[in-house]
């Protein structure tokens, strides 16, 4: 991989503003803006899962100062069940994000346990062509 490590994190579920895990961010971001990535989105009930795919998935791009990234990634790794082990819930990967301010590489968490998708509902694109998770979707 070339270039510097990203200073942005793309989130698409419970870590977004107004969601149950928003308080899990250990540092204050420089900016938070709506953004999209390519992928496929699934509703696992209390939280969503992003996997590789060709849909446009909505979320937020949280931008941080470089010195805040280690602590932020460490805290989010714990929240998302990522430790670099075979049985991790998610994998932290770099994706290309599109936001109003342009295109940027950002970290995100993709589902590592494909077996969880067997009982999950895929979130189809809405009228705008974009997939978005909302808390309580599976209750509807």
Give the confidence band of 47 by pLDDT, cuts at 50, 70, 90: very high
Question: Residue 29 falls within a domain, yes or no?
Answer: yes
- Give which of 24, 30, 110, 5 is closest to 75, Cα–Cα: 24
DSSP classification of residue 127: T
Domain coverage including residue 51: 8-123
Give the confidence band of 2 by pLDDT, cuts at 50, 70, 90: very low
DSSP string, 68-125: GHHHHHHHHHHHHT-SSSTT-SEEEEEEEEEETTEEEEEEEEEE--GGGGGGPEEE--
Identify whether the C-beta of residue 42 lies closer than 8 Å to the C-beta of residue 122.
yes
Any idea what the CATH number is for the domain that residue 63 is in? 3.10.490.10
Distance separating alpha carbons of residues 26 and 11, to the nearest angstrom:
15
Question: Residue 139 falls within a domain, yes or no?
Answer: no
pTM above 0.85, yes or no: yes
Question: Residue 133 falls within a domain, yes or no?
Answer: no
Question: Residue 134 falls within a domain, yes or no?
Answer: no
Q: Which residues contact 114 (CB under 8 A, 6 or more apart)?
A: 51
Task: Tell me the backbone φ, ψ of residue 29, rounded to 5 degrees.
Answer: -75, 160
Question: Residue 131 falls within a domain, yes or no?
Answer: no
Strands 130-131 and 102-111: unpaired
Condensed to tens digits (0 to 9), the pLDDT of residues 55-81 reads 999 999 999 999 999 999 999 999 999
Token pair of 104 as six digits: 């940027």
Question: Residue 129 falls within a domain, yes or no?
Answer: no
Question: Residue 79 falls within a domain, yes or no?
Answer: yes
How many structural domains is the chain composed of?
A: 1
Question: Residue 132 falls within a domain, yes or no?
Answer: no
Condensed to tens digits (0 to 9), the pLDDT of residues 76-133 reads 999 999 999 999 999 999 999 999 999 999 999 999 998 999 989 999 999 999 999 9
């Amino acid at each position: 991989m070339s270039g510097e490590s990203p200073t942005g994190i793309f989130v698409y579920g419970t870590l977004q503003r107004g969601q149950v895990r928003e308080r899990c961010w250990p540092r204050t971001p420089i900016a938070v803006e709506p953004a999209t990535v390519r992928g496929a989105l699934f509703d696992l009930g209390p939280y969503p899962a992003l996997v590789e795919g060709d849909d446009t998935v909505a979320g937020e791009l949280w931008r941080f100062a470089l010195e805040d990234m280690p602590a932020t990634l460490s805290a989010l790794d714990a929240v998302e069940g990522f430790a670099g082990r075979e049985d991790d819930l998610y994998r932290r990967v770099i994706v290309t994000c599109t936001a109003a301010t342009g295109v940027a590489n950002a970290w995100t968490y993709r589902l590592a346990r494909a077996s969880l998708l067997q009982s999950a509902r895929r979130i189809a694109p809405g009228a705008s062509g974009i997939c978005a998770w909302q808390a309580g979707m599976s209750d509807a």
